[in-house]
Chain A
Amino acid sequence: MSTAQVSPEPPAPAKSPRSGSPFARDEMIRVGAIALGLLVIVILVPAIFSLYYVDALTQVVVYAIVALGLGVLVGRVGLVSLGQAAVLAIGAWVAARLLFGSGLPFELVLLISGLITMVIGTCVGLPALRLRGLYLALITLMLAGAITVALATLNFPNGGHGFSGYNGAFVHIPAIRRPGIATSDRAYFRYSIIVAALMFLVVLGHLRSKPGRAWAAIRQSESAALAAGINTTLYKLWAFALASFVTGVAGGVLAGAQQYLYSINFQTQDSITLLAVVLMGGAYSMWGAIVAGLLLELLPAILNNIGVSPDWLTILFGIGVLQVLTTAPRGIVEQFPRDMARLYRAITGAARRSSGRSATS
């Protein structure tokens, strides 16, 4: 086994669209349903929920994008990174610096911070070309640790001058600015949903085209992929570039969402928790990224609201990792519907049996 696999079985090949048109009919229906669902979320969620939950859901959106990037690495290519929270911190740092230091439009800042993070993340990915499996995971953990230490010293920009943009003497720290069309929390939630939808589309575009097929091949067997003429080096780096790009954009969204960033909120532990929720959500499906975001950010918000310690969640994530790795490698996204289907069958089966018995008697 050349590429480390977190699951014993490769994910089922994507349902190929029916021959002829690239958009088969049921595909169109699905896209329509998702678009409609998004529209409903964008309109209804900020209107219904309290500000507390709108803020929490904005965090969910941010971490769903991060989980999406990590899902590409872990689920599609088989590269496990234990440093994605550090990559997110880099994205947030760059975005905050640009937002304080320039008058660039917010969208452009997101794009630039995505690109800069992409360059840095790809450099992190360079050792991945030589290191495999366990070694790669550990080197990303080491790099994340080093970045965390560096960030704690450098601090996040708070409107100061110089390269770091940090001024420890500030009493009144200015807030990180938001886009002009989304200054309120509710509007910013809508804005972040749109950014996230774009990121999901970018990743989907990759998965449905040449890179996606190359990644699937590399994941199954690197030597076979090489023999088939796939430039494995290029596509592995590409995966790191894509994951870092979306994570960098997520960092930008995070900077705008929190408006005040502190290095103490970015710890090495977060990278581990992140991997845990991505595995729990399901690394092989893009829906898994959304589940991961909900687990990581909405669940703590709910628990906090009802006065339960978030430490229970850490324990739950730990149990989740063990459970996913031992029995359910595809995560909640696949397991939950399967369990529900099984339950449904059990109930209908029991009903049928009892009705059959009453009919014969």
Chain B
Amino acid sequence: MNGMLGLLHLATFFPPWVDEEPFLVTGLALGGVYALSGVGLIVLFRTTGVLNLSFGAVGAFGALIAWQLINHSGLNQWLAYLVCILFAGVVTLVYGMVFGRALADRDPLVKATASLGVTLILLGIMDLLWTSSGGASRAITLPTDNHGFMVGQVTVSTTDVIALAVGVVITVTTTIFLRVSRLGTAMRAMASDREITATLGVPVARVEACAWFGCGVLAGIAGILLADLVALDATTLTFLVISSIAATLIARLSSIAVTFLAAIVIGVVESMVVPIESLTNYADATPFVLAVIALLVLSRTRALSGERQGF
């Protein structure tokens, strides 16, 4: 009798699977973007020791520029997205060349805090240029939103597929790139020991510049995808980076593979919690809760020091 009641209770707690299916699709797409952001953050962190907390703000800025170009300058939208990605790459590169170098010898915490400074600057400028008061709503709609196919009862848009695919492709290519290419090897060497790498004749500054630019490019891509999937809003996009950071934290800021898995899990759980009525409002807290639990469990087994090791 009790078992029956329990089952009944579960049945009312969890919505039928049919309701969950579309959210699974959204979750996978979101997870893909979290994964590509997480990979960008980790590669930069391992190479330069900087956890780039301005990732989200840079992406948001790029997406807003793209929106401006499409809607007010009539630019071809693919060109606008390219501008967004280049903008994000250049801004991140310039920050890295100026402040990344000035703070090179400091604690990782100081470097991360400094990137919060950039976040505030970008956030302020975005609110000045694209004010959100007065109910102005903007949106980026990729042409792929209208294409799609059916899986069973669920419509899957091409954008969802692209988001997940970009996440997978970036994860795989980055892993291969780090193993095979000269630049990747140099990055791995720097992750282990910056000084020794420099002694061996690796152009440390150039390798770092590549990492900064790469991270920025990924921020731009993530900015456009999230603007389409979530919302084109400066604050929302800026702080979505926290969800990607949750994934990198679960991977203890080192493993790309774990980051990818964690990102997908976070994205899927975050979306699939939405149709559960009693938890709907708490869905946004998913990345934080998962990261906190993971950190607490991980820190039981090994002390986390924030020191740099290999990938």
Chain A residues with CB under 8 Å of chain B are 1, 4-6, 8, 80, 127, 130-135, 137-139, 141-143, 145-146, 149-150, 152-153, 267-269, 272-273, 275-276, 279, 309, 311-322, 325-326
A269/B239 in contact, CB under 8 A:
yes
Known: A132-B304, A134-B112. 15 other contacts (CB 8 A): A4-B107, A4-B108, A131-B295, A133-B107, A138-B249, A143-B288, A149-B282, A276-B117, A314-B123, A315-B124, A316-B124, A321-B114, A321-B117, A322-B99, A325-B113
Roughly how many angstroms separate A307 CA and B152 CA in the complex, as a whole number? 56
B119 within 8 A of A: yes
Interface 1/0 per residue, B85-105 and A, CB below 8 Å: 000000000000001001100
Closest B-chain residue to A130, C-beta based?
B299
Q: Known contacts A8-B106, A314-B120: does B292 contact A139 (CB below 8 Å)?
A: yes
A141/B109 in contact, CB under 8 A:
no
A138/B245 in contact, CB under 8 A:
yes
Chain B residues with CB under 8 Å of chain A are 51, 99, 102-103, 106-110, 112-114, 116-125, 127-128, 235, 239, 242, 245-246, 249, 253, 281-282, 284-285, 287-289, 291-292, 295-296, 299-300, 303-306
A314/B124 in contact, CB under 8 A:
yes
A132/B306 in contact, CB under 8 A:
yes
A-B pairs with beta carbons under 8 Å apart, 29 shown: A6-B109, A127-B296, A127-B299, A131-B299, A132-B304, A132-B306, A134-B107, A137-B113, A138-B245, A142-B246, A142-B249, A142-B292, A146-B289, A146-B292, A149-B288, A152-B281, A272-B116, A276-B116, A311-B127, A312-B128, A314-B127, A316-B124, A317-B117, A317-B120, A318-B116, A318-B119, A325-B110, A326-B99, A326-B114
**Chain A residues whose CB sits within 8 angstroms of the CB of B109 once the complex forms:** 4, 6, 80, 133-134, 137
**Contact of A137 (CB < 8 Å), options: B112, B117, B125:** B112
B113/A275 in contact, CB under 8 A:
yes
Min CB–CB distance A279 → chain B (angstroms): 7
**Contact of A272 (CB < 8 Å), options: B119, B245, B303, B305:** B119
Min CB–CB distance B241 → chain A (angstroms): 10
Min CB–CB distance B95 → chain A (angstroms): 9
Min CB–CB distance B86 → chain A (angstroms): 23
Roughly how many angstroms separate A4 CA and B127 CA in the complex, as a whole number? 33
Q: Known contacts A133-B108, A135-B295: does B125 contact A315 (CB below 8 Å)?
A: yes
Min CB–CB distance B104 → chain A (angstroms): 11
Roughly how many angstroms separate A203 CA and B118 CA in the complex, as a whole number? 32
B102/A326 in contact, CB under 8 A:
yes
Min CB–CB distance B294 → chain A (angstroms): 10
Roughly how many angstroms separate A141 CA and B239 CA in the complex, as a whole number? 11
**Chain B residues whose CB sits within 8 angstroms of the CB of A309 once the complex forms:** 127-128
A326/B103 in contact, CB under 8 A:
yes
Roughly how many angstroms separate A130 CA and B113 CA in the complex, as a whole number? 21
A276/B127 in contact, CB under 8 A:
no
Closest A-chain residue to B299, C-beta based?
A130
Min CB–CB distance A360 → chain B (angstroms): 45
B291/A142 in contact, CB under 8 A:
yes
**Contact of B242 (CB < 8 Å), options: A6, A268, A275:** A268
Min CB–CB distance B34 → chain A (angstroms): 14
**Chain A residues whose CB sits within 8 angstroms of the CB of B99 once the complex forms:** 322, 326
Min CB–CB distance B53 → chain A (angstroms): 9
**Chain A residues whose CB sits within 8 angstroms of the CB of B125 once the complex forms:** 311, 315
Roughly how many angstroms separate A46 CA and B239 CA in the complex, as a whole number? 39
In the A-B complex, list the 6 residue pairs whose CB atoms are closest, starting with the nearest.
Answer: A318-B120, A321-B117, A314-B124, A318-B121, A315-B124, A153-B281
A319/B117 in contact, CB under 8 A:
yes
Roughly how many angstroms separate A267 CA and B249 CA in the complex, as a whole number? 22
Min CB–CB distance B116 → chain A (angstroms): 6
Roughly how many angstroms separate A322 CA and B54 CA in the complex, as a whole number? 13
B285/A145 in contact, CB under 8 A:
yes
**Chain B residues whose CB sits within 8 angstroms of the CB of A326 once the complex forms:** 99, 102-103, 114
Min CB–CB distance B48 → chain A (angstroms): 14
Roughly how many angstroms separate A312 CA and B108 CA in the complex, as a whole number? 28
**Chain B residues whose CB sits within 8 angstroms of the CB of A6 once the complex forms:** 107, 109-110, 113
**Chain A residues whose CB sits within 8 angstroms of the CB of B102 once the complex forms:** 326
**Contact of A320 (CB < 8 Å), options: B110, B117, B119, B246:** B117
Instruction: Name the residue among A6, A273, A275, A311 with the largest chain B CB count within 10 angstroms.
Output: A311
**Chain A residues whose CB sits within 8 angstroms of the CB of B51 once the complex forms:** 134, 138
B128/A311 in contact, CB under 8 A:
yes
Min CB–CB distance A315 → chain B (angstroms): 4
Closest B-chain residue to A142, C-beta based?
B288
Closest B-chain residue to A313, C-beta based?
B124
B281/A321 in contact, CB under 8 A:
no
Roughly how many angstroms separate A325 CA and B116 CA in the complex, as a whole number? 11
**Chain B residues whose CB sits within 8 angstroms of the CB of A315 once the complex forms:** 120-121, 124-125, 128
A268/B239 in contact, CB under 8 A:
yes
Roughly how many angstroms separate A113 CA and B137 CA in the complex, as a whole number? 39
Min CB–CB distance A86 → chain B (angstroms): 11
Roughly how many angstroms separate A319 CA and B249 CA in the complex, as a whole number? 27
**Chain A residues whose CB sits within 8 angstroms of the CB of B117 once the complex forms:** 276, 317-322, 325
**Chain A residues whose CB sits within 8 angstroms of the CB of B305 once the complex forms:** 132-133
Roughly how many angstroms separate A4 CA and B112 CA in the complex, as a whole number? 12
Closest B-chain residue to A323, C-beta based?
B117
Closest A-chain residue to B243, C-beta based?
A145
